[in-house]
Amino acid sequence: MQNVFVAWNYSFDASKGLYFVEPLRDATEYSIASIDASGGQDGFRYGEAFRPSINSYQFSNARAIANIAALNNLTNITDEYNKRAAEIKQNLQNQLWNSTYQHFIDRHQAENNFVKYFDFIRGRELVGYVPWAHDLPDDNKVYAQAWKHILDTNELRAPYGLRTVEPTYEYYMRQYRYEGTRPECQWNGPIWPFHTTLVLTGLGNFLDHYTTTGLVNTSDFISLLRNYTQLHYNYGVLNLQENYDPATGNPIVGLVRSPHYFHSGYVDIILNQLVGIRARADDRLEINPLVDESIAYFRVEKVPYHGLQISVQWDSTGNKYGVTGLVVEINDAVVTTQSNVQRLIIPLAPSPPPAILRPISKSTQPLTTTAYPRGNVSVPDQNIEEIHDAIDGRVQFFTEYINGWTTPVGNGVSELWYQVDFGNATEISRAEIAWFGDSGTFDVPTSYKIQVSKGWNWTDVSNATYAPSVSSGITHVSWGTETTQQVRLVFVPKNATRSRLVEFTLF
């Protein structure tokens, strides 16, 4: 964690005590800072700025390092990173708060013919709420004013969600970038689930434990959450996209990759904010649901917490679950009931966390095609990236987003193999094999087996249990423990079909 923190030193301006970042690297290309730094001509690259986001992330990183160090009695590290967090907080509040806009906004780090170093950008952006997602701002009436902008339909609030930039910005919703005729992703106005998640997290924090909340209330939170819920449906089907038109609620980009953006923290918002499970480090369970009269009921069950299983239930009338009010259960036993919604703090008996039964793959290589473990195949002249796909850790069976090594068309007789070289002797005893299938061009092989190298020879693993091959699923294999540097999956593709090995995972 310390290495990651100091890796950002290259973008730290000691004269300001703040971090800067290119909007593209902040996952928000075509922000005000980058568009204006181009003179309004582009905005995909460059336009570095001192942003509320990167400084909030580093503030939170520093606090996490300090807290973990404190648990280990590392006083020097605790003091150092608490000091860093305090300095980032002070500098962000003093220098990124704009009293005219009543919002945290970027300052330009770039300097050219169009923008000047450390000038404020010329508008509000949704990124200004990120500090509250990390509990950074002081609890006072000055900073609380920022929340009124998500209620104003002429500012950041749109009919279908939250704009990333206000419509008064000169280049609001101007489309710069395309793939063919399809619009590409931009942050100059569209609704983005990524930032909506951060805003709702921040608003949940604000309503939960800030006192100066008069400008915004729980009903506003619920209204925004309902908007956000609808974005997860694409024409009636669960299908979260990249970004959305704030005026229509329809997806903008709609490219092959678009349904595969997993940038929604929706579940966290439901559990932490709506249901109100406020995680703590001590032996306390804190529950404070954010619901108004429009939420008639909810129930969440068996949430792991401090080695226990927590269930929380709300029923405003008793008609849904037979009990009126708020009910909290621990390990299926009711520990608290009350007729209304209010904060509960329940003492917990100290309990060690359960053992994490999570096997660690010995074959996964997510980063490079050259380091060990390495993949190899029996078929000559194959694409090295596709070979690497089968050990990159991704298991997906989408037809439009190909991942894995694809064989030539089989004849039902000839054996092929996929080989993993660990780089040194490694102990293995089982595998998970992911085959892609579409009941047409691609199918599981007619047969398969596992072999290990012993000297110059390849031998079948001993005492093997081979499960039937699963199409677009996981096939499990186990055997007596072997120690080897190289292992092969040997298989026979069916006649007139191909096999696609999505992932070969060894344990």
Helices 75-96 and 52-71 pack at an angle, to 10 degrees, of: 160
Mean per-residue pLDDT, 333-349: 96
**Which pTM value belongs to this model?**
0.90
CA distances from 413 to 4, 183, 250, 357, 441 (A): 51, 47, 50, 40, 17
- Who contacts 284 (Cβ-Cβ below 8 Å, separation ≥6)? 345, 346, 347, 348
Record the tokens describing residue 471, joined without a space.
Answer: 């199409």
Q: Percentage of the chain surpassing pLDDT 90?
A: 92
Which of these ranges, 74-88, 255-269, 274-288, has the smallest mean pLDDT?
255-269
Task: Give the model's confidence band at 50: pLDDT under 50 very low, under 70 low, under 90 confident, else very high.
Answer: very high
Rounded to an integer, what distance in angstroms lies between the CA atom of residue 279 and that of residue 208? Answer: 12
Rounded distance between C-alpha atoms, residue 289 and residue 204, angstroms: 10
Can you tell me the mean pLDDT for 333-358?
91
Rounded distance, CA 285 to CA 271, Å? 13
C-alpha 390/C-alpha 407 separation (Å) is 12
Beta bridge partners of 375: 420
pLDDT-based confidence at 352, cuts 50/70/90?
A: confident
> How does pLDDT run across 132-158, given as a tens digit for each residue?
999 999 999 999 999 999 999 999 999
**pLDDT tops 90 at residue 35:** yes
| Cα atoms found within 13 Å of the Cα of residue 270, Cβ hemisphere only | 15
Cα separation, 501 vs 475, whole angstroms: 11
Query: Cis before residue 359, ω within 30 degrees of 0?
Result: no
Of the pLDDT bands very low, low, confident and very high (cuts 50, 70, 90), residue 357 is confident
Mean of pLDDT over the chain: 97
pLDDT at 353 exceeding the cut of 80 = no
- pLDDT score of 261 more than 90: no
List all residues 6 or more positions away from 350 whose beta carbon is below 8 Å from its beta carbon.
Answer: 283
Q: Does 355 score more than 90 pLDDT?
A: no
Q: Assess whether pLDDT exceeds 90 at residue 393.
A: yes
Angle between helices 218-231 and 193-209 (to 10 degrees): 160
Indicate the pairing of strand 277-278 with strand 284-287: antiparallel
pLDDT band (50, 70, 90) for residue 117 = very high
Q: Is 351 helix (H, G, I), strand (E, B) or coil?
A: coil
Q: Which domains does the chain have, with CATH numbers?
A: 1-123 (no CATH), 135-178+191-270 (no CATH), 275-347 (no CATH), 374-506 (2.60.120.260)
Q: Are 149 and 103 in contact (CB under 8 A)?
A: yes
- pLDDT reported for residue 165: 99
Q: What per-residue confidence (pLDDT) applies to 159?
A: 97
pLDDT value at 262 more than 80: no
Confidence of residue 351 (pLDDT cuts 50, 70, 90): confident
State the DSSP string of 77-124. HHHHHHHHHHHHHHHHHHHHEETTTTEE--EE---SSS--TTPBPSS-
Q: Is the pLDDT of residue 396 over 90?
A: yes
C-alpha pair distances (Å), 107 with each of 36, 178, 368: 12, 28, 37
pLDDT score recorded for residue 358: 85
The encoded tokens of residue 478 equal: 């186990």
Cβ–Cβ under 8 Å, residues 117 and 111:
yes
Tokens 């996981």 locate to: 474
Tally Cβ neighbours within 10 Å of residue 15: 6
CB within 8 Å of 111: residues ≥ 6 apart: 117
Q: State residue 263's pLDDT score.
A: 84
Ramachandran angles phi, psi of 169, nearest 5°: -65, 135
Kindly tell me if the per-residue pLDDT of 356 is higher than 90. no
Q: Report which of residues 503 and 239 the model is more confident about.
A: 503
**pLDDT at res. 312:** 99
Within 10 angstroms of residue 350's Cβ, the number of other Cβ atoms is 8
Report pLDDT for 354. Answer: 78
